[in-house]
Structure 1
């Protein structure tokens, strides 16, 4: 693994990224890994003077290992990190620990600690800037008029999420869809797919949710992949 970071900008924001390079035949994981696997975890040192606002994830792929369905990456991937200075003083270095899972025939947890200087000169390092800019281009985009979720509804028994979508192409296979609910839950098994030109309908099987879980007022995330395009948005249950 490798950590890339620029020094804080005038608003105290730090552009950073974690580069992960699985060896051939090995995989690492998306934020919700599917039936098994270990999602990436970033822990900042207590005295780092920074906070982690968000880990972003490039578009993953489905990975089948026998009957086990996983979600992740089987080639090098770079995860953008949105960091922010916690106080008024800009930190001189970035101290953090990254914990990931790497799997082939078995899964191996892997942890690495980083201490990266945050000099003002780092803002002008062309290699780091190029890595961060290239990584941003691999992320899912927001919905657009030609690719969006038009409606969603959860069945009364909480077992089925019905979706209506607009897709960017008038023909093709059904899109890949991943819905992330409560932490540790991802739903992608579907039934009743129907594609009519750019209109698409499907039912996502929810299975079970945490006991006493109340969907009212919650927000779930959805990632949809159609051909070479991907969008990510939020489903509100008000």
Structure 2
């Protein structure tokens, strides 16, 4: 458990900012350093379909944390932004399984160890000869430091990745949550008429045991994880997720929300189409 003064964190957020520019060699940038850790970018040249396979590596210093795509009740979500006019867009950033982190009375969601975010980038026109993007993350301990780095990686069309770069990208992909399967899936779900709770019925890999961690991501900036009425019946688990407050005039009907279920050493991620 990490105890952090909320006042100190907010003061540091307003007062402290770090920005670095990374030099490059091959398809891997140099590390950009910060008081709370460091990060770098790895990218391959576009394939024949215009996909750029890349990853952002973040290594917090011991005792520091960084955040999942929805950081919980506090923290800073990662933001990865290709340079405007660069001819590249971010199709998807993927995130390994996070952990709940208690920060005083605040519950956050993130990582207290090195983490790599796989990136799926798309070329929108002619293949660029370099990849330019900005990464913005939060690193927190007794203070919280916004950490920004700007990258410019050459992407020559005939460049061959090193075995180390391929291994890094493959390893990052291998630890992502799995897709639903016969033994790990959402059986059914229903949001209440007042949008205050989401009822879930899941198939879990193992019978009994601890309740799984469940993270439901709604509109941007909202994540829900408080469980009520949890019940195990063999490999079936049911619970109500407390939704609480949503943005003013927000109607969940017709929206797609994300869900991550962590059960022991397995995790499953999918989307919920709300009706």
Question: What TM-score do you get using the length of structure 2 for normalisation?
Answer: 0.84
Equivalent residue in structure 1 for 2:103, among 37, 53, 65: 65
1:131 aligns with 2:168: yes
What corresponds to 1:53 in structure 2? 91
Deviation at 1:49, TM superposition (A): 1.7
Deviation at 1:124, TM superposition (A): 3.3
Give distance in 1, aligned partners of 2:258 and 2:85: 32
Deviation at 1:121, TM superposition (A): 4.7
**Residue deviations 1:1-20 (CA, integer Å, cap 9, x gap):** 11000000010100000000
1:236 aligns with 2:273: yes
Give distance in 2, aligned partners of 1:41 and 1:142: 24
Aligned length: 237
- Flag structure 2 segments of 5+ consecutive residues without an equivalent: 1-38
1:154 aligns with 2:185: no
Equivalent residue in structure 1 for 2:122, among 80, 84, 97: 84
1:175 aligns with 2:200: no
SS of the residue corresponding to residue 64 of structure 2 reads coil
Find runs of 4+ consecutive structure 1 residues off by over 6 angstroms: none
Give distance in 1, aligned partners of 2:216 and 2:173: 22
Which range moved further: 12-21 or 191-200? 191-200
Do the aligned partners of 2:129 and 2:157 also contact (CA within 8 Å) in 1?
Answer: no
The two structures, once aligned, show a CA RMSD in angstroms of 1.0
- Flag structure 1 segments of 5+ consecutive residues without an equivalent: none
1:95 aligns with 2:132: yes
1:142 aligns with 2:172: no
Give distance in 2, aligned partners of 1:46 and 1:160: 39
What corresponds to 1:25 in structure 2? 63
